[in-house]
Amino acid sequence: MVLKHLKNNLWTVTLLTLSAATYGQSEQLQSFPLTSVRLLEGPFQKAQQTDMKYILELDADRLLAPYLKEAGITPLKDNYGNWENTGLDGHIGGHYLSALSEMYAATGNQQIKERLDYVLDWLEKCQLKNGDGYIGGVPGSKAMWADIAKGKIDAGGFSLNGKWVPWYNVHKVYAGLVDAYALTGNEKAKKMLIQLSDWCLKLVANLSDDQIQLMLKSEHGGMNEVFADVAAITGDKKYLVLAEKFSHKTILNPLLKDEDKLNGIHANTQIPKVIGFMRVAEVGGNAKWADAANFFWKTVVENRTISIGGNSVREHFNPSNDFSSMLESREGPETCNSYNMLKLSKHLFLAHPESKYMDYYERTTYNHILSSQHPEGGFVYFTPIRPRHYRVYSESQESFWCCVGSGLENHGKYGEMIYAHDANNLYVNLFIPSTLEWKEKGLELTQNTRFPFEEQSAFTLDLKKAQKFAFKFRHPSWITNGEMKIKVNGKEVAIEKDANSYVTINRKWKSGDVISVVLPMHSTAEQLPDKSAWVSFVHGPIVLAAVTGDTDLVGLRADGSRMGHIASGPIYPIEEAPMLVSNSTDLAQSLKEIKNKPF
pLDDT tens per residue across span 383-426: 999 999 999 999 999 999 999 999 999 999 999 999 999 999 99
Q: How confident is the model at residue 598, as a pLDDT?
A: 64
Q: How far apart are CA 217 and CA 265, in angstroms?
A: 12
Q: Which residues contact 147 (CB under 8 A, 6 or more apart)?
A: 153, 161
* Residue 190 reports pLDDT greater than 70: yes
Query: CA-to-CA distance for 353 and 362, rounded, in angstroms?
Result: 14
* Range with the poorest average pLDDT among 25-39, 314-328, 503-517, 520-534: 25-39
Domain boundaries, the chain: 37-377, 421-518
Beta strand segments in 47-166, E: 155-156, 159-160, 163-164
Q: What is the mean pLDDT of residues 180-209?
A: 98
Q: Is the pLDDT of residue 21 over 90?
A: no
* CB burial readout 305-344, b (16+ within 10 A) else e: bbbbbbbbbbbbbbebeebeebbebbbbbbbbbbbbbbbb
The answer for residues whose C-beta is within 8 angstroms of residue 208's C-beta and 6 or more apart is: none
514 bridge partner residues? 460
Domain spanning 37-377: CATH 1.50.10: yes
User: How buried is 550 (Cβ within 10 angstroms: 0-12 exposed, 13-18 middle, 19+ buried)?
Assistant: exposed
Residue-wise DSSP of 227-282? HHHHHHHH--HHHHHHHHHTS-HHHHHHHHTT----TTSBHHHHHHHHHHHHHHHH
CB 115 within 8 Å of CB 433: no
Integer angstrom CA distances of residue 543 from 527, 528, 537 = 12, 13, 6
pLDDT of residue 576: 87
Task: Look at residue 555 and tell me whether its pLDDT is greater than 80.
Answer: yes
- Specify which residues 593 forms β-bridges with: none
14: pLDDT strictly greater than 90: no
- The pLDDT mean for the chain works out to 94
Encode pLDDT of 331-387 as tens digits. 999 999 999 999 999 999 999 999 999 999 999 999 999 999 999 999 999 999 999
pLDDT reading at 483 higher than 50: yes
Q: What is the pTM of this model?
A: 0.95
Q: What is the pLDDT of residue 579?
A: 84
Would the pLDDT of 24 be above 60?
A: no
Quick count: other Cβ atoms within 10 Å of Cβ 132? 13
Span 56-100, pLDDT tens digits: 999 999 999 999 999 999 999 999 999 999 999 999 999 999 999
Under CATH, which number does the domain 421-518 receive?
A: 2.60.40.1180
- Strand-pair category, 30-31 with 37-39: unpaired
Residue type, 2: V
Under the phi-then-psi rule, with left for phi > 0, alpha for psi from -120 to 50, and beta for the rest, what region is 69? Answer: alpha
Phi, psi of 45 (to 5 degrees): -65, -40
Question: According to the model, what pLDDT value does residue 259 have?
Answer: 98
Asked if the model's pLDDT at residue 52 lies above 80, the reply is yes
pLDDT-based confidence at residue 27 (cuts at 50, 70, 90)? low
Question: What is the C-alpha to C-alpha distance for residues 389 and 96, in angstroms, rounded to an integer?
Answer: 30
